[in-house]
Amino acid sequence: MSKKIEGYRQPAVIGDLDEEAARNQRVITLEQSVLEANDLVAAQNRALFNEEGIHVLNLISSPGAGKTSLLVETLWRLRGELSCAVIEGDQQTAHDAQRIAETGTPVIQINTRGGCHLNAAQVREALEHLPLKGLDLIFIENVGNLVCPSSFDLGENEKTVIMSVTEGEDKPVKYPQAFSLARLMVLTKVDLLPHLRFKRELCKEFAYRTNPQIEIVESTVFEEKGLEPWLDALRRRVAFS
């Protein structure tokens, strides 16, 4: 036991430190266990995607970045060209899945009931309800969050991070894990640039600083050719799958 010294706050004793360390160790072990179990199912998902020849994108963004609007317009544009399906993740409601269903695309809604991300087991269950034969692309629209979703492998071919010009150009350095793990970054709502003080080139500089290999495309759903760079990126991925 440590001795109390008059005039000083009682220090923690060695035993207390050991107990705290033990508590921290249990937390770390639990987190590792959760991720290991998730990665096992993710590997099974990936094997299934490879067997079926499906390219899978895990779409990650902040709430309101325009993920669903981008996805809906993409599905309309790709009709008759590529066969797609969607796994839609939200904490509550099926509003986004209903919007996607209107395009005629197979879609499965996952409600996480407060969870901040999708996990591989949830995706695995959703796959049991999708017609996988003949699919070219599966979009997994993750819960709106730039933190938690980046930690969980779902079995996807790649993570795609989506950010809008209304969010501020420093998102890539504020949330580096999401951007460092993504192969593709989609900058949305670029039609609003004339009305904003958004520094486009600085945003790209931040993204490349976080991930020198990241591919960046700009998009808007309100202009005729506003999705072409994004659609071309998808076509290339399907061609090489």
pLDDT in tens, 41-54: 999 999 999 999 99
Q: Which residues lie below 8 Å from residue 62, measured CB to CB, with a gap of 6+?
A: 144, 145, 146, 163, 167, 171
Per the structure, the complete domain to which residue 60 belongs is given by: 14-239
What is the C-alpha separation between 73 and 60, in angstroms, rounded? 17
Would residue 190 count as lying in a domain?
Answer: yes
pLDDT digits (tens, 9 = 90+) for 94-117: 999 999 999 999 999 999 998 999
* Count of structural domains within the chain: 1
Q: What is the pLDDT of residue 34?
A: 82
| Confidence band, pLDDT 50/70/90 cuts, at residue 30 | low
Model-level pTM? 0.86
Would residue 69 count as lying in a domain?
Answer: yes
Would residue 123 count as lying in a domain?
Answer: yes
| Mean of per-residue pLDDT scores for the chain | 90
Q: Which two tokens stand for residue 198?
A: 């958004």
Would residue 6 count as lying in a domain?
Answer: no
pLDDT digits (tens, 9 = 90+) for 168-223: 999 999 999 999 999 999 999 999 999 999 999 999 999 999 999 999 999 999 99
- For 161-214, give the DSSP string: EEEETTS-TTHHHHSHHHHHHEEEEEEE-GGGGGGS---HHHHHHHHHHH-TT-
Q: What is the pLDDT of residue 5?
A: 36
Q: What is the pLDDT of residue 26?
A: 53
Q: What is the pLDDT of residue 10?
A: 42
CATH of the domain at 169: 3.40.50.300
Q: What is the pLDDT of residue 90?
A: 95
**Type of residue found at 143:** V
Would residue 140 count as lying in a domain?
Answer: yes
In the beta sheet, which residues pair with residue 107? Answer: 86
Would residue 3 count as lying in a domain?
Answer: no
Would residue 183 count as lying in a domain?
Answer: yes
Question: Residue written as tokens 């795609």?
Answer: 160
Is residue 211 a contact partner of residue 223, using CB atoms and an 8 Å limit? no
Would residue 2 count as lying in a domain?
Answer: no
